Structure 1
Amino acid sequence: MNNVVEEYKFFKNINAVLDIARFPVNENATSTDPRLIINALEEFGNRYKAIFQKINPDLDIKEYFNIQIDYQSANGIKGREIEIHEFWGEGYDITNNTVNLFEYSKNCMSTSVDSGLAHALLDPPYCLKRPPSVPSKISIERKDPERKWMTDLVNRFNNEVLKIDVNSSLNHIIIEEWPTNWSNYFDAGNEWWGSFLWSVLDKKNKWVTVIGASTTD
């Protein structure tokens, strides 16, 4: 299996900052093997290195930032199983299918949620590229079209990237949250924006999708 999730490229192209890798698993798996989580971080590091070398063929990446793993700490990591509501966080109301990430006023908007996948996907430090349907000027009039657009993005991510229907039975899905203290990959996010690492085990499709995010401005 190719570890790249092609359906995520759409989100990457509008400035989403998640890193995603997918690995095959046995249909009888009851949790994600920690070794696959480590493999995912190694994959993220290899991707970063490839991009760096493509842009800077004459530079040694070791003299700059290079994703490193503390394998002694990594070998002891354990996932914490969470429900789909906690996974998406308070920024996305699954029951009403509504994104509630921001508070809007006449001339400003502010982030009201700083955790969960809704925040990690929809609220990167430099913002997603908004479509023409969303007013560029920050105002109270921006609230409804922006929420609709972001809700559509969440639905697309669930349907196309994760291949799940949050309104149907998810008995075949096991979501786990993982520690973020065993690689310098997480250092940037620890400054203020946040560091995140989840796995979504899909026994029906026999794969696990690992989602990481850590960035700053």
Structure 2
Amino acid sequence: MNRIEKLPPAFERFDKMLGVLDFAVFENAGGTEEEVLSAVPQALRHFHRFDAGKLRSLGSRRITEKAFFGDWYDPDSGNLLRLGRYKTADGRQLTDPVLSSLDGVKIMSGGSSCPETGGQFAYAFSSPPYPLDARPGEVQAVFEEIRDFILPPHRASEILDWSDMRLPEVSDYFDDGAEWWGAFLFSVHIPSMRRLTIIAGSTTD
């Protein structure tokens, strides 16, 4: 298993817009638990402690692509959503708008709660504690490129959700996210391509 160092430009664009998710992608991967456990620390941007044994004991659960993307994503259209109720500068009331429809729209008030169920990659991608430094339409475009890279269309996938309230016991990387925003950890394996992607996220305001 070898790490792919040069990823598509969308990953760098995501970093520049201050996205908080970390990615590590590997080729020639069988998707075994041992491979995942060795790959996870390579995805973590900053940490002093990592306990693979603890992560193994916490375990994971296999989820569908729909559960992986979560509530902030419309699987039929492929659009990111911004869940919640909002009032715009021109007096409109919006409920769960499509994110890209908010280009040029000034939100005056409103908000939504943090999701508490598993999955929720779309939320973690598009709604960090501090807003992404990009237009909503640009966020959607970058999301689509990254989505189609880690989950190529018409390819079978094996998605494991390792997210757990006890992830701070695995690594101090997850301490910040455990405060309120969330601590996220996924492994995505594409058997036909022998490609493994680790996705991690943890931050606070």
- TM-score, length basis structure 1: 0.70
Deviation at residue 126 of structure 1 after TM alignment = 1.4
Alignment of 1:124-203 (within 5 A): 124-131=128-135, 146=136, 148-159=137-148, 161-162=149-150, 164-165=152-153, 169-170=154-155, 172-180=156-164, 181=167, 182-203=170-191
Q: Distance in 1 between matches of 2:37 and 2:68?
A: 20
Deviation at residue 113 of structure 1 after TM alignment = 5.1
Classify the secondary structure of the residue corresponding to 2:57: coil
Q: Distance in 2 between matches of 1:5 and 1:112?
A: 36
Q: Distance in 2 between matches of 1:69 and 1:25?
A: 24
Classify the secondary structure of the residue corresponding to 1:108: strand
Q: Over aligned residues, Cα RMSD in angstroms? A: 2.3
Q: Is the 8 A contact 2:160 2:186 kept in 1?
A: yes
Q: Which sections of structure 1, spanning at least 5 residues, go unmatched?
A: 49-65, 132-145
Classify the secondary structure of the residue corresponding to 1:102: coil
Alignment of 1:2-81 (within 5 A): 2-4=3-5, 6-7=7-8, 8-26=11-29, 29=30, 32-45=31-44, 47-48=45-46, 66-81=47-62
Q: Which sections of structure 2, spanning at least 5 residues, go unmatched?
A: 89-107
Q: Is the 8 A contact 2:151 2:157 kept in 1?
A: no
Find the counterpart in structure 1 of residue 87 from structure 2.
105
Percent identical residues: 25
Query: Does residue 208 of the first structure (1) align with residue 189 of the second (2)?
Result: no
Classify the secondary structure of the residue corresponding to 1:105: strand
Change (3 A) 1:157 1:208: same
Q: Is the 8 A contact 1:175 1:199 kept in 2?
A: yes
The structure with the largest strand share of the pair is 2
- TM-score, length basis structure 2: 0.74
Residue type matched to 1:157 in 2? I
Q: Is the 8 A contact 1:78 1:179 kept in 2?
A: no
Find the counterpart in structure 2 of residue 87 from structure 1.
68
Which protein is bigger by CA-based radius of gyration?
Answer: 1
Q: Is the 8 A contact 2:163 2:183 kept in 1?
A: no
Q: Distance in 2 between matches of 1:72 and 1:176?
A: 17
Residue type matched to 1:15 in 2? L
Per-residue Cα deviation, 1:59-112 (whole angstroms, up to 9, x for no partner): xxxxxxx43123431343432111111101000011122222233213224135
